[in-house]
Amino acid sequence: MKKIIVAAFQCESNSKARLKPTKEDFEYFKGEDIFKKLVVKDVFESAGYKVVPSIYAVALPSGTVTEDIYFYYEKQIMQTVRENTDAVGVYIFFHGSMEVDNIGSGELYLLKEIRKIVSPDCVISMTMDAHANITAELGEYANITCGFKTVPHTDQKESQLRAAHALVKALDTGVKPRLFVQYVPFLLKNDTLLTGEEPLKSLIAETVEYEKDEEVFSANLFLGHCWIDAVNTCASTVVCADTEEKAEKIAKKLANELWATRDVYKFKIEAEDPEECVKRAIEGKENRIFITDSGDNTTAGAEGESVEILKLFLAADPKKKTCVAGITDYDTVNGLWEKKDGEEFFFEKFGVNAKIKSHGEILGWTKEIIGKSITVSVGNVDAVFTEYRSAFIEKGNFDKANVDLLGYKIVVVKLGYLFTELKPYADRELFALSDGASCVELKRLNLKKIMRPMYPLDEFEWKA
């Protein structure tokens, strides 16, 4: 029976983030257990192929990946490949923006190593995040990639299945797809690039129409990931078709259409400096107002340690019940852990009298418990401190921390755009243009390695 190797290896990197991922930061499965997370097995087996599972190693966005951590997982995938050199297909679930110290693109390096071993006829298919930074060389080593078509992301499973079905189609028909990458030289604020809004809504619909063509295996818009300082950091269009000529023609058409929209993308919500966001939240009449601390966004690799907005609220002493959620502070959590709920103390770090509101737990990216939280009250302001980096993306995060989301009029979270799971609880959203590793102001990021010219840093004419 013909074999298909399956693996997943992801870490969305942030060059400005101080914390680099450790082994403990990766959710890890091996062998058949990887299918607790991946949904492609049935597609391959129902088509008559033997599935050879390798590993699933996926981390929360962090700083660049060190070589030792990268090779710890890379070697396991390569061992699977070496033991199955006769595989006719390889499927890998990447992010597309993993940057490895002294290496560059982690995805490209792994693909090159796989190609050294498998047959030239082996078809490699991938799923990637919509914020992938695609390398120009990708088409030399891979045949198919299917990017997410939603931002915020809701189609991860569907994107896996599209890449799996495309791989089966290529193997069954004997067609080896050609993958063409077209750079689009812009880097825009990720949080303005929403696929449910125009013009991206129509552009994504156009990619879906292209994919109805039997000769087109996939058509993708990749919007780029601006927090990596690398030569391949920018948007791109990637098309996989039966011939390179067809793939190139479609990719360039999509690229020109995407480029034409570059000055359209604006925040759909109020985006202001932190001081103004705090002022508007306190004065606002809505039932519950959310502020996202975008410069310290843990889902974009930031540390989550900034207390800038907390200090602004403490200074303002609001009359509204306010929660600042998910401040990473190991020392505070463990230093206060032995105190009991309701116990009063002097909080030296902020020079204020405070009391312990609750002890709780924090959830990792995949909703497993990864540590402790402690919530401290200062007047009407509650601050949730977490032992390790966490992302408060849904009500369940607040529940685990033993704080009642519905009891607050103002809620601060360390995100960019508000996750879909929190939107039902938000009557108004404010986007704080704060500094930090995930700052959305491109000029403040001081990127040195990106290609130039690059919009909006430069004004220029361009055509694919």
Q: Indicate whether 285 and 241 sit together in one domain.
A: no
pLDDT at 382: 98
HSE toward the beta carbon, residue 48, CA cutoff 13 A: 5
Give the pLDDT band of residue 402 (cuts 50, 70, 90): very high
Q: Is 184 helix (H, G, I), strand (E, B) or coil?
A: strand
Q: Indicate whether 254 and 317 sit together in one domain.
A: no
What six digits make up the tokens of 377? Answer: 């009250």
For residue range 187-225, what is the model confidence (pLDDT) as tens digits? 988 788 989 999 999 999 999 999 999 999 999 999 999
Tell me, yes or no, whether 457 lies in a domain: no
Tell me, yes or no, whether 128 lies in a domain: yes
Q: How far apart (Å, rounded) are the C-alpha atoms in residues 37 and 33?
A: 8
Q: Indicate whether 340 and 192 sit together in one domain.
A: no
What six digits make up the tokens of 348? Answer: 């030296």
Domain that holds residue 113: 3-259
Indicate the pTM of the whole model: 0.91
Please check the confidence at residue 366 and state whether its pLDDT lies above 80. no
In our burial notation (b when 16+ CB lie closer than 10 A, e otherwise), range 434-449 reads: bebbbbbebeebebee
pLDDT at 191: 82
> 461, exposed or middle or buried, with CB in 10 Å at 0-12, 13-18, 19+?
exposed
Tell me, yes or no, whether 253 lies in a domain: yes
For residue range 51-105, what is the model confidence (pLDDT) as tens digits? 999 999 999 899 999 999 999 999 999 999 999 999 999 999 999 999 999 999 9
In this structure, what DSSP letter does residue 96 have? S
What proportion of the chain, given as a percentage, has pLDDT over 70?
100
Region of 89 on the Ramachandran plot (φ > 0 left; ψ -120 to 50 alpha; else beta): beta
pLDDT at 431: 96
Q: Indicate whether 133 and 219 sit together in one domain.
A: yes
Looking at this protein, which amino acid is placed at residue 279?
K
For range 388-392, the mean pLDDT: 93
HSE toward the beta carbon, residue 51, CA cutoff 13 A: 25
pLDDT at 405: 98
C-alpha 142 chain-centroid distance: 22
Tell me, yes or no, whether 444 lies in a domain: no
- Of residues 368 and 50, more confidence is placed in 50
Q: Indicate whether 217 and 87 sit together in one domain.
A: yes
Tell me, yes or no, whether 463 lies in a domain: no
Q: Indicate whether 56 and 190 sit together in one domain.
A: yes
Tell me, yes or no, whether 269 lies in a domain: no
Q: How far apart (Å, rounded) are the C-alpha atoms in residues 376 and 384?
A: 7
Q: How far apart (Å, rounded) are the C-alpha atoms in residues 77 and 82?
A: 9
* Domain end among 226, 259, 292: 259
What six digits make up the tokens of 241? Answer: 């078709």
For range 331-347, the mean pLDDT: 97
Give the pLDDT band of residue 137 (cuts 50, 70, 90): very high
Q: Indicate whether 156 and 304 sit together in one domain.
A: no
| Distance set, CA 192 to CA 196, 268, 310, 319 (Å) | 11, 7, 25, 32
* Domain end among 232, 259, 286: 259
Tell me, yes or no, whether 226 lies in a domain: yes
Average pLDDT of every residue of the chain: 96
Q: Indicate whether 280 and 365 sit together in one domain.
A: yes
Q: Indicate whether 80 and 145 sit together in one domain.
A: yes
pLDDT at 417: 87
Q: Indicate whether 116 and 235 sit together in one domain.
A: yes
Q: What's the structural domain count of the chain?
A: 2
Q: Indicate whether 236 and 306 sit together in one domain.
A: no
